[in-house]
Protein backbone atom coordinates (compact mmCIF):
# COMPACT_ATOMS: atom_id res chain seq x y z
CA UNK A 1 0.00 0.00 0.00
CA UNK A 2 1.29 3.45 -0.89
CA UNK A 3 2.83 5.46 1.93
CA UNK A 4 1.58 8.99 2.49
CA UNK A 5 3.25 12.10 3.87
CA UNK A 6 1.30 14.98 5.38
CA UNK A 7 2.20 17.98 7.53
CA UNK A 8 2.09 17.15 11.22
CA UNK A 9 0.06 20.21 12.15
CA UNK A 10 -1.57 23.32 10.73
CA UNK A 11 -3.17 26.41 12.20
CA UNK A 12 -5.93 28.52 10.74
CA UNK A 13 -8.58 31.03 11.71
CA UNK A 14 -12.31 30.91 11.44
CA UNK A 15 -13.63 31.76 8.01
CA UNK A 16 -10.41 30.94 6.18
CA UNK A 17 -9.93 28.27 3.56
CA UNK A 18 -7.59 25.48 4.61
CA UNK A 19 -5.63 23.33 2.19
CA UNK A 20 -3.90 20.18 3.43
CA UNK A 21 -1.56 18.52 0.97
CA UNK A 22 -0.67 14.86 1.03
CA UNK A 23 2.21 13.28 -0.90
CA UNK A 24 1.89 9.73 -2.20
CA UNK A 25 4.69 9.20 -4.70
CA UNK A 26 4.20 5.45 -4.95
CA UNK A 27 0.50 5.47 -5.68
CA UNK A 28 -0.58 2.56 -7.86
CA UNK A 29 -2.85 2.68 -10.88
CA UNK A 30 -5.79 1.12 -9.02
CA UNK A 31 -5.39 3.17 -5.82
CA UNK A 32 -7.98 5.65 -4.62
CA UNK A 33 -7.29 8.60 -2.33
CA UNK A 34 -9.45 8.93 0.75
CA UNK A 35 -9.55 11.48 3.54
CA UNK A 36 -10.89 10.90 7.03
CA UNK A 37 -11.49 13.32 9.91
CA UNK A 38 -11.11 12.40 13.56
CA UNK A 39 -12.24 14.38 16.58
CA UNK A 40 -10.83 13.63 20.05
CA UNK A 41 -12.33 10.51 21.63
CA UNK A 42 -14.18 9.58 18.44
CA UNK A 43 -13.64 7.21 15.57
CA UNK A 44 -12.55 8.55 12.16
CA UNK A 45 -15.24 9.85 9.86
CA UNK A 46 -15.13 9.71 6.06
CA UNK A 47 -14.80 13.11 4.37
CA UNK A 48 -14.10 12.59 0.70
CA UNK A 49 -12.65 10.18 -1.80
CA UNK A 50 -11.33 10.51 -5.33
CA UNK A 51 -9.26 8.99 -8.10
CA UNK A 52 -8.24 11.92 -10.29
CA UNK A 53 -8.98 15.59 -11.04
CA UNK A 54 -11.41 17.22 -8.64
CA UNK A 55 -14.11 15.92 -6.35
CA UNK A 56 -16.44 18.12 -4.34
CA UNK A 57 -19.08 17.34 -1.76
CA UNK A 58 -20.95 19.36 0.83
CA UNK A 59 -18.00 19.28 3.22
CA UNK A 60 -14.79 19.58 1.20
CA UNK A 61 -13.05 19.45 -2.15
CA UNK A 62 -10.29 17.12 -3.19
CA UNK A 63 -7.81 18.16 -5.86
CA UNK A 64 -5.69 15.51 -7.55
CA UNK A 65 -3.14 16.47 -10.23
CA UNK A 66 -2.65 14.42 -13.36
CA UNK A 67 0.33 12.47 -12.01
CA UNK A 68 -1.64 11.61 -8.83
CA UNK A 69 1.52 11.78 -6.71
CA UNK A 70 -0.14 14.20 -4.36
CA UNK A 71 -3.58 15.41 -3.38
CA UNK A 72 -4.97 18.43 -1.60
CA UNK A 73 -7.92 18.49 0.75
CA UNK A 74 -9.61 21.87 0.74
CA UNK A 75 -11.90 22.94 3.57
CA UNK A 76 -13.78 26.15 2.72
CA UNK A 77 -14.44 28.71 5.45
CA UNK A 78 -13.40 26.63 8.43
CA UNK A 79 -15.00 27.00 11.84
CA UNK A 80 -13.86 26.05 15.33
CA UNK A 81 -15.65 22.73 14.92
CA UNK A 82 -13.26 21.77 12.11
CA UNK A 83 -10.44 21.41 14.64
CA UNK A 84 -9.50 17.76 14.25
CA UNK A 85 -6.94 15.35 12.86
CA UNK A 86 -7.16 14.73 9.12
CA UNK A 87 -5.86 11.52 7.59
CA UNK A 88 -4.92 10.96 3.99
CA UNK A 89 -5.05 7.35 2.88
CA UNK A 90 -4.16 5.70 -0.37
CA UNK A 91 -5.07 2.18 -1.28
CA UNK A 92 -7.11 -0.14 -3.38
CA UNK A 93 -10.65 0.67 -2.39
CA UNK A 94 -12.21 -2.61 -3.11
CA UNK A 95 -11.58 -6.09 -1.97
CA UNK A 96 -10.78 -5.95 1.67
CA UNK A 97 -10.08 -2.21 1.82
CA UNK A 98 -7.23 -2.45 4.31
CA UNK A 99 -6.65 1.16 5.25
CA UNK A 100 -3.20 2.28 6.37
CA UNK A 101 -3.39 5.32 8.63
CA UNK A 102 -0.41 7.63 9.12
CA UNK A 103 -0.14 10.12 11.96
CA UNK A 104 -2.39 12.59 10.15
CA UNK A 105 -2.46 16.39 10.20
CA UNK A 106 -3.65 18.14 13.34
CA UNK A 107 -5.64 21.18 12.28
CA UNK A 108 -6.26 23.83 14.90
CA UNK A 109 -8.80 26.53 14.03
CA UNK A 110 -8.57 29.68 16.12
CA UNK A 111 -11.21 32.37 16.76
Residues lying near another protein in the complex (CB under 8 A) are found at 32, 34, 41-46, 49, 87, 93-94, 96-104
Identify which of residues 31 and 82 has a Cβ nearer to another protein in the complex.
31
Identify which of residues 80 and 100 has a Cβ nearer to another protein in the complex.
100
User: Integer distance in angstroms from the first to the last C-alpha of the chain?
Assistant: 38
* Cβ(18)–Cβ(63) below 8 Å: no
Identify which of residues 94 and 111 has a Cβ nearer to another protein in the complex.
94
* Minimum distance, C-beta of residue 43 to another protein, in the bound complex (Å): 3
* Minimum distance, C-beta of residue 16 to another protein, in the bound complex (Å): 25
* Minimum distance, C-beta of residue 58 to another protein, in the bound complex (Å): 15
Choose among 9, 10, 20: nearest CA to 75: 20
Dist CA 111 CA 51 (whole Å) = 34
What is the DSSP pairing of strand 32-38 with strand 84-91?
Answer: antiparallel
Identify which of residues 41 and 81 has a Cβ nearer to another protein in the complex.
41
Dist CA 63 CA 86 (whole Å) = 15
Amino acid sequence: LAKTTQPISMDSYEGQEVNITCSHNNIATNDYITWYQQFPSQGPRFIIQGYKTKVTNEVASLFIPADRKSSTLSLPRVSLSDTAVYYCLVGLIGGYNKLIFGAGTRLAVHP
